[in-house]
Amino acid sequence: MSNKDAVNDTWVADRPWPFFLKYLRARKLEFGALAALVISAGACAVAVQYSMKLIVDAMAGPDRSAAAVWQPLMFFMGLIAIESVLWRTSGWLGCKTIVATGVDIRLDLFHHLIRHPMRYFARHMSGSLGSRVTATAGSMGAILSALTWNIVPPAVDFLGAVVVLCFVDVRMALALVVFVAIVAAIIITFGVRGRFLHQAYGQEAAHVGGEIVDTVANAWAVKAFSAADRERTRLAHAFGKEAKAQRRSWMYVEKARVLHDICLWIMAGGMLFWALRSWQMGAITPGDVVLVSALSFRILHGSRDLALALVSTSQEFGVISEMLGVIGEPHEVRDRPDATRQAPERGRIEFQNVTFHYPNGRNVLENFNLVIPAGQRLGLAGPSGSGKSTLLALIQRLDDVSEGRILIDDTPIDAMTQDSLRAGIAVVPQDIHLFRRSVAENIRYGRPDATDEEVRLAARYAQCDSFIRRLPQGYDTLLGERGATLSGGQRQRIGIARAFLKDAPILILDEATASLDSRSEHAIQRALKNLIQGRTVIAVAHRLSTISSFDRIIMLNDGRIVEDGTPKELLEQDGLFRSLWQTQFDDGQAPTPAKRA
């Protein structure tokens, strides 16, 4: 499958109806067969009512012993059997198809969601995003179920009733069409006008889901600051807003039910009165009266299901619409249609007149130029907000440059797919992200096809094999959420093992030892010394001692390179590097930067 095809396969529409139709088209044969089954079952249900007319008319004759009731009875029994088979088959096919569609929706939404830039996730709570994905699949399933069993059958009943009534009295058929059209217009208009209430409820429900996950994820802080009662009060306020929105949405549905019941009471009573008057005048048979009565009450109950289904479907479309406004945002960073799956091999990096500013207009880099030869160990330092993290993000294409371009091995990075670009880059961040999976799975995450022996070898290089073997199940030990069962230094070394195993030509170290104690930092430094050999290394460091043995250090300030040289050269200059170095070693005994390896 080409990259373009992959993008199209997981395209997320910006409006509910195109989103809905996409998944109908994805399984058009299954949904087509499902529609045929439901329509056939509905037609059988109408024919059953007609067979009852035949039985009653046969019974109305003067000679009961000679009444031809057995053939209509067999017709009646056969139709009931066929209808039952059709409904059960539709149930089996509907279960299979609708559940599979829900799986597709969640996968597509996840695929779209995970490709948003990191600042998108900073704006939205992870729990809220996760609940939206689940709720959208649930809403789509509810819409498809309602369409299959609550909307199509009453519609078939109505059309069948019109056809059958044409044989009784064409005027009755026309009256039924007009009355149902009026009722449908009233109910649909009523339902559409309440859509904003259903959307508001969807927003509040998603927000509450996010609040719960956020609070549970920060359980330590809740306990440490004795905030359980405060959080309960805060959640009670959020639940109250959600409950208010739910009540408004629910009561609107109840109003629709009342309106519908009044309309259908008038319709059913009017049709039966008309039929009885026609029978009195000899215009129709007793079987026709039974037929009109049965069809009227079937349409009465069916249209109630239809009206409620239309209103609830409007609610579910409101949930989907709210989701599309959040998760369905267009990606800010996208693969070009002609992007290739070419991964970096040597690791030469070049910034050419790069300008970058955030959507809010804040400028970070302007006409920035930098060449990092393959295999060079480069340290980035400077005050907070100087652009260090932005440089790392741009190299990984977590954001796109506003102007200029970045090349790796003389190829613009936007000419590669994002996945292939990042396949050539290993990252060891300050905060290592570990999954609730085994230790081996976490190390293997950067290279899923690695053997168990390769995983253990990477762990030995990362100085973490010994503590892993002391865990209850060794490499098969299941880690807590985000690796909470490990110390900071242990998580960091597993992150380094992951980078070892990936064996990428470019290595990014983002404050990899900033939050560690001296003993842990020493172990990490030994592991990093093994890891950086033979790679292009870009390290952001708050502690200048961690990059004092690098080939080159760049000091950034306000998005500009203010100093560039070896650690020894920069220390000899009266500049930013020397100032920060002396600040960190203010006892006057600052160590001398190590010689280049």
pLDDT at 237: 87
pLDDT at 9: 43
> How many Å apart are CA 359 and CA 104, to the nearest integer?
32
What's the whole-number mean pLDDT along residues 131-138? 85
List the domains of the chain with CATH numbers: 11-326 (1.20.1560.10), 340-424+510-517+549-585 (3.40.50.300)
Confidence band for 355, pLDDT divided at 50, 70 and 90: very high
**Within 10 Å of residue 573's Cβ, how many Cβ atoms?**
12
What's the whole-number mean pLDDT along residues 394-400? 91
The answer to whether the CB of 242 falls within 8 A of the CB of 204 is yes
pLDDT at 513: 65
The answer to whether the CB of 207 falls within 8 A of the CB of 319 is no
CB-facing half-sphere around the CA of 2: CA atoms within 13 A: 9
Statement: residue 134 has pLDDT above 60 = yes
Confidence band for 155, pLDDT divided at 50, 70 and 90: confident
Give 527: exposed, middle or buried? Use CB within 10 Å, 0-12, 13-18, 19+: buried
> How many Å apart are CA 446 and CA 430, to the nearest integer?
17
Which residue is it, tokens 């998603």? 206
**Token output for 38:** 């439901």
**Token output for 470:** 């002391």
SS3 content of the chain, % helix, strand, coil (to 5): 65, 10, 25
The predicted-structure confidence for 14-45, as pLDDT tens digits, reads as follows 788 888 889 999 999 999 999 999 999 988 88
Q: Is 529 helix (H, G, I), strand (E, B) or coil?
A: helix
Statement: residue 235 has pLDDT above 90 = no
pLDDT at 101: 93
DSSP assignment string, 285-326: -HHHHHHHHHHHHHHHHHHHHHHHHHHHHHHHHHHHHHHHHH
The answer to whether the CB of 179 falls within 8 A of the CB of 267 is yes
The answer to whether the CB of 317 falls within 8 A of the CB of 146 is no
Closest listed residue to residue 550, CA positions, set 385, 375, 392, 426: 375
> How many Å apart are CA 206 and CA 130, to the nearest integer?
9
Phi first, then psi, for residue 408 (nearest 5°) are -125, 125
What's the whole-number mean pLDDT along residues 144-152? 89
Closest listed residue to residue 376, CA positions, set 552, 577, 566, 593: 552
Beta strands across the sheet bearing 552-557 = 425-429, 506-510, 536-540, 377-381, 552-557, 560-565
Bridge partner residues of 509 (DSSP): 428, 539
Statement: residue 516 has pLDDT above 60 = no
Indicate the pairing of strand 411-412 with strand 377-381.
Answer: unpaired
pLDDT at 278: 81
pLDDT at 130: 80
What's the whole-number mean pLDDT along residues 417-436? 87
pLDDT at 203: 76
What's the whole-number mean pLDDT along residues 44-70? 73
What's the whole-number mean pLDDT along residues 558-576? 89
> How many Å apart are CA 468 and CA 249, to the nearest integer?
53
**pLDDT higher for 581 or 481?**
581
Q: Which helix (H) or strand (E) holds 330?
A: none
> How many Å apart are CA 205 and CA 187, to the nearest integer?
26
The predicted-structure confidence for 61-87, as pLDDT tens digits, reads as follows 666 565 677 787 788 888 889 999 999
Rounded to a whole number, what is the largest CA-CA distance in the chain?
A: 124
The answer to whether the CB of 131 falls within 8 A of the CB of 206 is yes
pLDDT at 36: 94
**Within 10 Å of residue 399's Cβ, how many Cβ atoms?**
17
Mean per-residue pLDDT of the chain: 82
Statement: residue 550 has pLDDT above 60 = yes
Bridge partner residues of 556 (DSSP): 561
Q: Is 357 helix (H, G, I), strand (E, B) or coil?
A: strand
pLDDT at 519: 64
Whether this model's pTM surpasses 0.75: no
> For a pLDDT cut of 90, what percent of the chain falls above it?
23
Closest listed residue to residue 570, CA positions, set 587, 550, 586: 550
Lowest mean pLDDT among 70-79, 189-198, 233-242, 321-330: 189-198
> For a pLDDT cut of 70, what percent of the chain falls above it?
89
**Within 10 Å of residue 469's Cβ, how many Cβ atoms?**
12
What's the whole-number mean pLDDT along residues 350-369? 87
The predicted-structure confidence for 248-302, as pLDDT tens digits, reads as follows 887 877 777 777 778 777 877 787 788 788 877 877 777 777 777 777 777 766 7
What's the whole-number mean pLDDT along residues 376-398? 89
Statement: residue 596 has pLDDT above 50 = no
Confidence band for 2, pLDDT divided at 50, 70 and 90: very low
Statement: residue 371 has pLDDT above 80 = yes
pLDDT at 517: 57
The predicted-structure confidence for 475-507, as pLDDT tens digits, reads as follows 999 887 666 678 878 888 888 888 888 889 999
